[in-house]
Structure 1
Amino acid sequence: MSPTTQSRPLPMAITTYLERSVSAKPASARATFAENAVVVDDGKTYTGEAAIAAWLAETVTEFEYTTTQLRIEKDETATTVVNRIAGNFPGRSVDLSYRFELDAESGLIQALTISI
């Protein structure tokens, strides 16, 4: 099955992560991840609660930016949200793909891969 544009609302963990990760307290987004979750961002892998909490805290200190959601796609195993990020970083604007895999039991984020 090929990816499709999703018209239904996003799962709660994804919506909450996207809102909290750009808030004044991005570390609060940690609650949206399963205990043994894995995040891949900018070529680095963060596994488990402590590593993900540190990654969340670090991301807010690097740049100031705004986020505009462009599209949502869903396949059998993941939901992908593509956001345009604009801010005071090299290039000033980039479209990032956030690929979320959720834990079937808890509904929390089991894996998140962020890529261009």
Structure 2
Amino acid sequence: MPITLPKPIAAYFAADRIDSAAMTQCFTENAIVVDEGKTHTGRAAIRRWKSNASTKFDYVSEPIAVTEKDGSIVVTGRVTGNFPGSPVDLKYTFVLEGEAIARLEITL
């Protein structure tokens, strides 16, 4: 059964399949991404983060569940690719600001 995601989050997962430039447009100018213990602040830093991740591995993230918790939207994504341990289910915790993502934290 397909899940329904808020527009900015659906755009993020769609753009993640395309490239870092498309994906960064889903974020506010001063957005924050926390992934693998590192914090990336602002669109330029987020673009570098995405570009670096894409050069290391080929992967695709498919949203499989969504919940709301404490004002955040938590999406479980099944990530499949050519990395050790594939596939893995990750938690994407989004905070939205209007029609854009203000914060994203990716955890196991």
Instruction: Decide: shared fold, TM above 0.5.
Output: yes
**Cα drift, residue 63 of structure 1:** 0.8
Instruction: Look up the match of 2:105.
Output: 113
Q: Which runs of 4+ in 1 moved over 6 A?
A: none
- Structure 1 residue runs of 5 or longer lacking an equivalent are 1-6
CA contact (8 A) 1:96 1:114 kept: yes
Cα deviation 1:54-110 (Å, max 9, x = unaligned): 11222211112233322111124111110111221111221111000001xx32100
Query: TM-score, normalization: structure 2?
Result: 0.89
Q: Which has the higher strand share?
A: 2
SS at match of 1:27: helix
Query: TM-score, normalization: structure 1?
Result: 0.83
Instruction: Look up the match of 1:12.
Output: 7
* Pairing 1:57–2:21 present: no
SS at match of 1:110: strand
* Pairing 1:99–2:83 present: no
**Cα drift, residue 8 of structure 1:** 7.4
* Equivalent-residue separation in structure 2 for 1:69 and 1:39 (angstroms): 18
* Pairing 1:90–2:81 present: no
Aligned pairs, number: 107
Which protein shows a greater Rg? 1
% identical aligned pairs: 37
